[in-house]
């Protein structure tokens, strides 16, 4: 009965397939015999001849002057007309460094210019954070740097206070601030980098106080990764809290270098609470953070008094039956210390809300619509504007806008194409706009925020694939398994594509939250391996299923409590679309993905054995109960709360369904998705008498990076060539 | 130059190949269409329908009466005429057990009859070592058994003293004898079961003193095996001393239950010494052992006084520039407590030497010749004969002989065929002879040691493969790479073999010491998987190269200090022989082996990439420096002493040579050949940009046993089917 229903639906979908809107990228590269067939070394990052897209490194603002560093010299660019002025040469800096007994620079890309009013540059840690004055030619290196290997340097350019970590402890200005045993980590990122957390130290604007994370993970069971490069192999454990298990506990400390005083926020019992999105009030006397309960369905914006460490007030609370996920700290208006912008998905899309430190004042939504704000670039203080990037043009794009704070009036500031990454100048009057579009490898330009006009072109990147045979790229949409939602797909066809032939297809999939595979930058983000395989005669297909990024909260949350199930249904729709195409060999469809995509690959092979002949799953999640607390419980709740959901998505239970060829690849040092996933699946397959294949990359973490990435892709290629 | 020389040799060998002597086993099974094609479930141990060869379990002597237990009854067999007498039924024993509140027996196979003069049977541990008197019908269970899980039970049937271990400590008669922390193991086998050691407790004949091993391995680096069946996976470490590294230290204790006294032999510093082959003097007051230095080239037969623990004397010393390997304890003559038999390979073959406890008396060699004694079955005290098994007929056989101690006169006691395993009766006048031959699945008979005549036939096993399609088995010899040594090979051909066709070949290889693949028992020991693959149309070939068992010391020691190199040369000769055969497809030759055979498989793929297209290496040794001290240093010395040898045999250095398809299989709990071998090889291949394949069996040790063994062989089969 169910089967017939599905079949009926399928027929309808196949009939409709020809009508789906598609766009083919203009390809100005014919299949010219003079073109070279690219190798994996050309196309895979880490390859010896990898074709990088040209770029400019270290571009930044010095007040409202654009700074363009090079290997041998550093110039300022006048944003009005693009006129360049040499500020200094590497030779000059190195002369000064040599006199000061400091290691010389081999290029100028890591130099920063944080002081708009001074002719001074900040050199990197390897040069002892020396300050170079390009008018006097003097360098002043710091003297309080550690002799031990240090990390997580955080320098406040106002006070020149310097924080760093040695092993698991925090140091500030050369003084040890914490003295914790192994198992307690200070001054580093916490909560496994979820909730937008990327670091563990937070200077106040004045640089006279520093907040820091202290994570006690001594109660977290370590997962035993094994280092086989030593004789005898040794355990190299990672504290890994698995869903529903005892998790680490985080405190937030505040250290005042002038007095040497360190206090911890009085948050009460820290068990099962997340302290996220730390930021300071403009006066540097209050600390704001967004606190979240373990269930991740109740967020509180809290202000703590930095002197006492006491909770001053809870300014805002947000709840959701599924989850809330604060990822951006609040940002104060530069012209009003009582007003700040809070980002929330509470209307279903990430938008800006103007709030006040005075709880009585009403919150005002600044942006709205079925699209989302991706980031705040800064402000134009004079014009009372906030400059943002958003997906207003298309969920595949990222464009620059200014929003008038007074009334939320929004004005586009770029060409409305592609994907824009921008840096705003000090006054907010110019941006350095680094953008690409499906047919534009990269452009870097300066543009005015008054009218969005380009005022100076810094780079027009050459096609990185010039001289190489390249496939064509098409995109389009099809309906999700819910029958209503549009999903975006990308298809690569061999350069010599012949529509009268039948082609095998490989689906490349990720499918999890916080990622989008089809993005409107160069060649729609087609991956190097996809290009390679298309050149070998495969059609390469990718579909962003429900649950993926930039399509709003409902789209993302449709997968809640049974991750992978709806996603697989959508991918199956993608395959049915493929099978409706006359040039697709319906029996020769493969699938490949890594991490969440490894889960998807495995799940698709097991749930749709009739659709997929070959799969290669890298670093797969096999059973969400082996995944970590922060990410896992957000989407799945705990195994105790959601036993049915965990059971439904546990792929070891489906091991007996394996019919095609499935290669699992795992890294032996994978501390994101531990090897227990793949090994448990192998055991389940042995028990069920099914026959997956396996490869392990020793000495790699959650992905195979560097030179070995070429080996990985050759390995994957051979598997499809052997079996598809 | 070298290459041409090899080529010339090759031509000569190929020309000679047709002349090699071969023997084809008479196969009385035509390719009858009524025969069933066997499955892996039929042919692999652990398979659901595995075809065991019929046998009789628990056969033993009760004095000079043969005891034949069954499920429901136990009979004695008169060795003179085979007449059977019922001694008791299971029902009767169980009635008595039930009354005594002891668990009932589900069969009688584990019952022992150690008291020739009493109508009493000893029941197993599960029945509390109860003694059952079949005349009175009474059972007497022991009361001093442990409540905790115990192991290594050792019961002396003279005194009824009972030793066992709980965790790492020894108990005797319910009393805890040792109280050692984790890292010190008492009462268990030591030295990783090398030197013939299989247990850790040794009662004296009277049962009033017990010697035991105490092994301190706290200084041995543990290898971190990981148990993935627990959430979070946990380390399940094994103390694994690798070649050249710090090894465990062993002491020998003696405990006297009557006094509760425990002493340790005063051996001096126990570092880097092996204490092996423990046995007691007939009077139970002296302990003999053979001590070996770490270099394993100097053995000493020592006598210790059991009362004082002091060394009384060194009776005999043996040295060898390569190694000596004592594996059999001395055995005293039952009619003369001052004389014992020592086994030694000092003339190049394992032979018997008559020695005296009086050092002044001369040693006399009892057996001699280019063949070896395999074991001492016991004595005929009346006739002053020792009964042995030996390879005198053929290195592929094991036959029974009596040797007159007076003058070494040796008389054959069996039919001169096949492989005989025998148990000698109390007086030494009869044997239970359990034998098989190439065309005899199994015969169990009683025979007289007076003339070797069979007096009673207990079993003539049916062909286990009746009704199944079976390949033909051929054997023969060819010359080793040294040009002089004969090597034995076995070849299986499909039942429907057609000499005008070309067949692919799979070489099954072990190749290491202490093992022989071609043995003259049923079907020349052809393995189930070999039969299966021959049925699928492969020729299955196995060659016992130099270094393997039962060919004498020089043959074995030709591989000294560079294990695998000569062995591979011999296997390459085997392949050249195969390639000379008109019905062999010379380009389709594969190789498979496990453990040492895994090393051989990998080494052959890397050293002879032109000969082998496909290999499957299970649990391989990749680099001898990752192997353990006892076995590894015997054949390779330490990495410090023999850096060139270790380098030459380190297969990671040859990873770049891989051309064909090589599947490596390892068990995640392999504590014999730790996973570091395979993982190191994968890393070397990734570095060298070569592409082996991998599979891991979770929760298995050094081999895949039980039900999963069928999965393993299906996996191996698929690999050869895909690529060969």
Minimum-distance CB partner of A228 among B680, B689, B697: B680
Residue contact B696–A714, C-beta within 8 A: no
Report cis status (omega within 30 of 0) of the bond before B8.
Answer: no
Chosen for mutation from A683, A691, A700, A717 (greatest number of chain B CBs closer than 10 Å) is: A683
Query: What residues 625-644 of chain B have any CB closer than 8 A to a CB of chain A?
Result: 625-626
Enumerate the residues of chain A whose CB falls inside 8 A of the CB of residue B632: none
B20, pLDDT greater than 90: no
B261, pLDDT greater than 70: yes
- Rounded Cα distance between A87 and A72, Å, is 11
Enumerate the residues of chain A whose CB falls inside 8 A of the CB of residue B235: 224, 235
Enumerate the residues of chain A whose CB falls inside 8 A of the CB of residue B695: 682, 693-694
Q: What is the 3-state secondary structure (H, E, C) of A104-122?
A: CCCCCCCCECCCCCCCEEE
Per-residue confidence (pLDDT) for residue B13, from 0 to 100: 36
Chosen for mutation from B40, B225, B231 (greatest number of chain A CBs closer than 10 Å) is: B231
pLDDT in tens, B629-641: 999 999 999 999 9
Residue contact B224–A226, C-beta within 8 A: yes
Chosen for mutation from B40, B219, B226, B629 (greatest number of chain A CBs closer than 10 Å) is: B226
B623: nearest CA in chain A? Answer: A231
Enumerate the residues of chain A whose CB falls inside 8 A of the CB of residue B680: 228, 698
User: Higher confidence at residue B21 or residue B196?
Assistant: B196
- Rounded Cα distance between B108 and B98, Å, is 16
Q: Are B570 and B543 in contact (CB under 8 A)?
A: yes
For the segment B319-347, the average pLDDT, to the nearest whole number, is 98
Residue contact A714–B698, C-beta within 8 A: no
For the segment B513-517, the average pLDDT, to the nearest whole number, is 97
Minimum-distance CB partner of A224 among B235, B626, B682: B235
Distance (Å) from the alpha carbon of B292 to chain A's nearest alpha carbon: 25
Minimum-distance CB partner of A682 among B626, B676, B696: B696
Distance (Å) from the alpha carbon of A190 to chain B's nearest alpha carbon: 20
For the segment B632-660, the average pLDDT, to the nearest whole number, is 98
Per-residue confidence (pLDDT) for residue A687, from 0 to 100: 98
Half-sphere exposure of B625 (CA within 13 A, CB side): 21
- Rounded Cα distance between A468 and A33, Å, is 10
Any catalytic annotation for residue A677? no
Share of chain B above pLDDT 70, in %: 96
Which residue's structure tokens are 């990185």? A464
Q: Which of A247, A344, A398, A595 is an active site residue? A: A595
Residue contact B679–A696, C-beta within 8 A: yes
B5, pLDDT greater than 90: no
Edge-to-edge strand order for the sheet containing B399-404? B373-380, B385-390, B399-404, B410-412
Instruction: Say what the ipTM of the complex is.
Output: 0.93
3-state secondary structure at position A468: strand
Query: Which pTM does this prediction carry?
Result: 0.94
Looking at the annotation, which residues of B are catalytic? Answer: 595, 670, 702
Per-residue confidence (pLDDT) for residue A32, from 0 to 100: 77
A232: nearest CA in chain B? Answer: B223
Cβ atoms within 10 Å of B53's Cβ, excluding its own:
15
B668: nearest CA in chain A? Answer: A679
Q: What tokens does B202 get? A: 């040794």
- Rounded Cα distance between B608 and B659, Å, is 10
- Rounded Cα distance between A302 and A311, Å, is 7
pLDDT in tens, B346-372: 999 999 999 999 988 999 999 999 999
- Radius of gyration of chain A, Cα coordinates, nearest whole angstrom: 27
Enumerate the residues of chain A whose CB falls inside 8 A of the CB of residue B658: none
Minimum-distance CB partner of A695 among B233, B242, B694: B694
B336 touches chain A (CB under 8 A): no
Query: What residues 280-309 of chain A have any CB closer than 8 A to a CB of chain B?
Result: none
Enumerate the residues of chain B whose CB falls inside 8 A of the CB of residue A221: 232
Share of chain B above pLDDT 90, in %: 95
Half-sphere exposure of A101 (CA within 13 A, CB side): 2
Per-residue confidence (pLDDT) for residue B30, from 0 to 100: 52
**Which of B517, B491, B495 shows the shortest CA–CA distance to B581?**
B491
Within chain A, which residues score under 70 in pLDDT?
1-31
Residue contact A683–B715, C-beta within 8 A: no
Domains in chain B (CATH in brackets) are 147-264 (no CATH), 468-723 (3.40.50.1820)
B711 touches chain A (CB under 8 A): yes
Residue contact B696–A675, C-beta within 8 A: no
DSSP β-bridge partners for residue B289:
B302
Residue contact B711–A674, C-beta within 8 A: no
Work out the pLDDT band at B25, boundaries 50, 70, 90: low
- Rounded Cα distance between B509 and B572, Å, is 12
Cβ atoms within 10 Å of B293's Cβ, excluding its own:
14
Distance (Å) from the alpha carbon of A699 to chain B's nearest alpha carbon: 8
Interhelix angle for A565-579 vs A2-17, to 10°?
Answer: 50
Per-residue confidence (pLDDT) for residue B26, from 0 to 100: 44
Per-residue confidence (pLDDT) for residue B1, from 0 to 100: 31
- Rounded Cα distance between A541 and A590, Å, is 10
For the segment B115-130, the average pLDDT, to the nearest whole number, is 97
C-alpha distances in angstroms, B43 versus A222, B38, B464? 43, 7, 10
Q: Which of A414, A570, A623, A670 is an active site residue? A: A670
Q: What tokens does B575 get? A: 């392949």
Q: What is the dihedral of CA B433, B435, B440, B443, to 10 degrees?
A: 30
Query: What residues 242-281 of chain A have any CB closer than 8 A to a CB of chain B?
Result: 242, 245
Per-residue confidence (pLDDT) for residue A14, from 0 to 100: 36
Per-residue confidence (pLDDT) for residue B32, from 0 to 100: 77
DSSP-derived pairing of the beta strands A503-508 and A486-493? unpaired
Minimum-distance CB partner of A240 among B226, B232, B694: B232
Q: What is the DSSP letter of B306?
A: T
B233 touches chain A (CB under 8 A): yes
pLDDT in tens, B485-495: 999 999 999 99
Query: What residues 167-196 of chain B have any CB closer than 8 A to a CB of chain A?
Result: none
User: In this complex, how many residue pairs, one in chain A and one in chain B, have their CB atoms less than 8 Å apart?
Assistant: 114
Residue contact B686–A698, C-beta within 8 A: yes
Residue contact A691–B715, C-beta within 8 A: yes
For the segment B205-222, the average pLDDT, to the nearest whole number, is 97
Per-residue confidence (pLDDT) for residue B3, from 0 to 100: 36
Phi, psi angle pair for B242, to nearest 5°? -90, 150
Residue contact B229–A682, C-beta within 8 A: no
Enumerate the residues of chain B whose CB falls inside 8 A of the CB of residue A675: 226, 228, 233
B17, pLDDT greater than 80: no
A700: nearest CA in chain B? Answer: B683
Residue contact B240–A232, C-beta within 8 A: yes
Burial (CB < 10 A; 0-12, 13-18, 19+), residue A538, is buried
End-to-end Cα separation, chain B, in angstroms: 32
């Amino acid at each position: 009965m169910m089967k017939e229903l599905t079949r009926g639906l399928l027929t309808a979908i196949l009939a409709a397939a020809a009508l789906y809107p598609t766009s083919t990228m203009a390809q100005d590269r014919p299949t010219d015999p003079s073109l070279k067939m690219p190798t994996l070394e050309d196309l895979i990052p880490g390859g010896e001849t990898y074709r990088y897209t040209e770029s400019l490194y270290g571009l930044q603002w010095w007040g409202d002057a654009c700074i363009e560093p090079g290997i041998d010299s550093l110039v300022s660019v006048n944003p009005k007309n693009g006129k360049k002025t040499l500020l200094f040469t590497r030779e000059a800096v190195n002369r000064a460094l040599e006199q000061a007994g400091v290691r010389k620079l081999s290029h100028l890309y890591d130099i920063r210019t944080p002081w708009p009013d001074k002719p001074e540059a900040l050199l990197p840690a390897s040069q002892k954070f020396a300050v170079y004055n390009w008018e006097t030619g003097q360098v002043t290196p710091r003297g309080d740097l550690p002799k031990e290997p240090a990390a997580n340097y955080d320098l406040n350019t106002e006070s020149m206070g310097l924080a760093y970590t040695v092993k698991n402890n925090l140091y500030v200005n050369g003084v040890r601030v914490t003295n914790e045993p192994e198992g307690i980590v200070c001054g580093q990122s916490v909560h496994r980098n979820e909730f937008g957390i990327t670091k563990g130290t937070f200077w106040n604007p004045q640089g006279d106080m520093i907040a820091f994370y202290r994570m006690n993970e001594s109660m977290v069971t370590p997962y035993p990764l094994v280092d086989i490069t030593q004789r005898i192999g040794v355990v190299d454990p990672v504290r890994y809290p698995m869903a529903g298990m005892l998790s680490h506990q985080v405190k937030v400390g505040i250290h005042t270098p002038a007095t040497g005083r360190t206090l911890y926020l009085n948050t009460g019992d820290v068990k099962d609470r997340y302290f996220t999105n730390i930021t300071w009030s403009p006066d540097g006397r209050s600390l704001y953070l967004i606190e979240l309960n373990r269930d991740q369905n109740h967020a509180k914006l809290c202000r703590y008094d930095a002197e006492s460490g006491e909770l001053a007030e809870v300014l805002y609370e947000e709840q959701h039956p599924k989850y809330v996920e604060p990822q951006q700290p609040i940002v104060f208006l530069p012209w009003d210390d009582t007003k700040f912008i809070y980002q929330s998905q509470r209307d279903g899309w990430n938008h800006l809300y103007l709030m006040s430190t005075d709880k009585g004042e009403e919150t005002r939504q600044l942006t709205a619509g079925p699209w989302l704000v991706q980031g705040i670039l800064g402000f134009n203080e004079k014009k009372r504007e906030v400059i943002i990037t958003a997906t207003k043009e298309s969920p595949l794009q990222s464009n620059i806008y200014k929003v008038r704070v007074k009334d939320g009036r929004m004005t586009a500031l770029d060409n409305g194409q592609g994907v824009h990454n921008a840096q705003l100048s000090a006054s907010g009057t110019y941006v350095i706009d680094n953008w690409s579009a499906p047919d534009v490898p990269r452009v870097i330009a300066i543009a005015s925020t008054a009218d969005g006009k380009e005022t100076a072109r810094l780079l027009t990147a050459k096609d990185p694939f010039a001289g190489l045979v390249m496939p064509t790229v098409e995109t389009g949409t099809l309906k999700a398994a819910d029958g209503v939602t549009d999903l975006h797909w990308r298809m690569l066809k061999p350069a010599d594509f012949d529509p009268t032939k039948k082609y095998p297809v490989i689906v490349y999939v990720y499918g999890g939250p916080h990622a989008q595979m089809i993005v409107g930058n160069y060649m729609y983000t087609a991956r190097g391996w996809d290009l390679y395989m298309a050149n070998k005669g495969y059609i390469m297909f990718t579909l962003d299923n429900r649950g993926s990024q930039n399509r709003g909260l409902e789209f993302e949350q449709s997968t809640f409590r049974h991750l992978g199930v709806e996603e697989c249904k959508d991918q199956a729709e993608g395959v049915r679309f493929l099978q409706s195409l006359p040039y697709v060999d319906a029996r020769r469809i493969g699938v490949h993905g890594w991490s969440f995509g490894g889960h998807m690959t495995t799940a698709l092979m097991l749930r749709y054995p009739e659709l997929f002949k070959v799969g290669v799953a890298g670093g797969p999640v096999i059973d969400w109960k082996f995944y970590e607390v922060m990410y896992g419980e957000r989407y799945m709740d705990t195994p105790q709360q959601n036993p049915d959901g965990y059971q439904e998505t546990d792929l070891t239970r489906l091991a007996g369904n394996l019919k095609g060829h499935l290669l699992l690849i795992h890294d032996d040092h994978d501390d994101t998705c531990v090897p227990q996933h793949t090994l448990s699946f192998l055991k389940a397959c042995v028990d069920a008498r099914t026959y997956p294949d396996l490869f392990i990359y020793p000495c790699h973490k959650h992905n195979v990076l560097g030179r070995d990435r070429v080996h990985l892709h050759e390995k994957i290629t051979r598997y499809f060539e052997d079996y598809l």
